Amino acid sequence: MTIYDISKKAGVSIATVSRVLNGSTNVKPKTRKKVMDIIEQYGYKPNAFARGLGLNSMKTIGILCADASDLYLAKALYYIEQNLRENGYNSVLCCTGYEMDSRKESLNLLLSQHVDSVVMVGSNFIMNNPEDNMYVNDAAASVPIMLLNADYDCNNVYCTLCDDYKATQDATEKMLNAGLKNILYLYNSNSYSGLKKLAGYQSALLSHDIAVKKEMLQCFKGSNEDIDGVKSFIEKLYLKGVKFDGIIASDDFLAVGAMNFARANKIKVPNELQIIGYNNSILTHCSEPPISSIDNRLEDMCIQLVKTLIGTLSQNEMPQKTIFSGELVERGSTKL
């Protein structure tokens, strides 16, 4: 069923059908109705390729994301896809994994599909080495690039992020003000936002004149599903004699591992050990007590990102950077 079939059946030209389809005003109401009826009757749907060919846009946004099964990224994906669709855009998903080459390849794939824009979900798309980020510049030359949770200065690149630095700094400060002396910083990623969080932690310590001890910065290298691994990781530190009365984790799953460690070693939370996670995910509700966590307002960020994207595609001047502030949600794992 094509526009030709419809035009024949309705006894008009294809141009008229096209006008009806695209809501042009220059159609006699009677003609419009006649065409509409035929369209409905045959359930005709215009061919998106042909339309795309002419307009050179298929109203499609490419979404790049390292791992759609990650709790946090999956949520982001969900919000973004919803918002895009409400604005009449489709989403092509591309999970890249965490390797550089795969990221570039996926990006090229999306660009060759003539997506109208690419959204990169997650801080891991921006590295520390400027050279490694040139692929973003290249892509931005052809379509607007939207970054969620990453900060990158480049023309045609728009960033929506949470001030992880400040959020972590605040949380650390609260722990210090509550009298904690040895706060362990537990992280698992050297991504941009990972480093920001770390910096926030360090800044809080320094402003309280506390030296940052190396043994208090611990990077867990395992997978983000391996809660048992996290537990043994902390246990090893503990047995080695590292003392800590507070833990700030860069992700909730690390915090859960910390909770499990505490329980296994009969360390009372929050009396002997206070724990703060990050992302405020469902994992915070699985332990007893429930885990305090930093909420970085993912949904708000996603909504804003799509707004900026739609604005940009409509040729409006949009802000290159939108920064939200995170917020500590206090639960039973802390006493601040």
Nearer to its own copies by Cβ, of 250 and 287: the residue is 287
Helix or strand holding residue 117 (H, E) = strand 117-121
Q: Which stretch binds DNA (CB under 7 A): 1-9, 167-175, 254-262, 275-283?
A: 1-9
Q: Is residue 313 a contact residue for its own copies (CB under 8 A)? A: no
Can you say how many angstroms the Cα of residue 148 is from the centroid of all Cα atoms in its chain?
5
- Sole binder of its own copies in the list 109, 210, 217, 318 (CB under 8 A): 109
Amino acid at 227: I
Q: Which stretch binds DNA (CB under 7 A): 9-17, 137-145, 197-205, 244-252?
A: 9-17
Residue owning tokens 């990781």: 233
Q: How far is the CB of 28 from its own copies (least distance, A)?
A: 26
Q: Is residue 14 a contact residue for DNA (CB under 7 A)? A: yes
Q: How far is the CB of 197 from DNA (least distance, A)?
A: 44
- Contact between 145 and 156 (Cβ < 8 Å): yes
DSSP class of residue 185 equals E
Binding to DNA (CB under 7 A): which residues in 32-61? 32, 46-47, 49-51, 53-56
- Contact between 179 and 334 (Cβ < 8 Å): no
Q: How far is the CB of 45 from DNA (least distance, A)?
A: 7
Helix or strand holding residue 296 (H, E) = none
Number of residues engaging its own copies in binding (CB under 8 A) = 52
Can you say how many angstroms the Cα of residue 207 is from the centroid of all Cα atoms in its chain?
31
Any idea what the Cα angle at residue 103 is, between residues 102 and 109, rounded to 5°? 85
Q: How far is the CB of 38 from DNA (least distance, A)?
A: 13
Q: Is residue 67 a contact residue for its own copies (CB under 8 A)? A: yes
Structure tokens given for 226 = 């391996």
Task: Give which of DNA, its own copies, none residue 282 binds (C-beta under 5 to 8 Å, depending on kind).
Answer: its own copies
Q: How far is the CB of 76 from its own copies (least distance, A)?
A: 8
Q: Where are the alpha helices (DSSP H) in the chain?
A: 3-10, 14-21, 29-42, 48-55, 71-86, 100-112, 134-140, 164-177, 192-207, 227-239, 252-264, 298-313
Residue owning tokens 């909420």: 295
Q: Is residue 16 a contact residue for DNA (CB under 7 A)? A: yes
Q: Is residue 228 a contact residue for its own copies (CB under 8 A)? A: yes
- Sole binder of its own copies in the list 7, 16, 60, 188 (CB under 8 A): 60
CA distance 53 to 311: 23
- Contact between 90 and 139 (Cβ < 8 Å): no
Binding site residues, its own copies, CB under 8 A = 45-50, 52-53, 56, 58, 60, 63, 67-71, 74-75, 77-79, 81-82, 85, 90-95, 108-109, 111-114, 225, 227-228, 253, 256, 259-260, 263-264, 282-283, 285-288
Binding site residues, DNA, CB under 7 A = 2-4, 11-16, 18-19, 21-22, 25-28, 30-32, 46-47, 49-51, 53-56
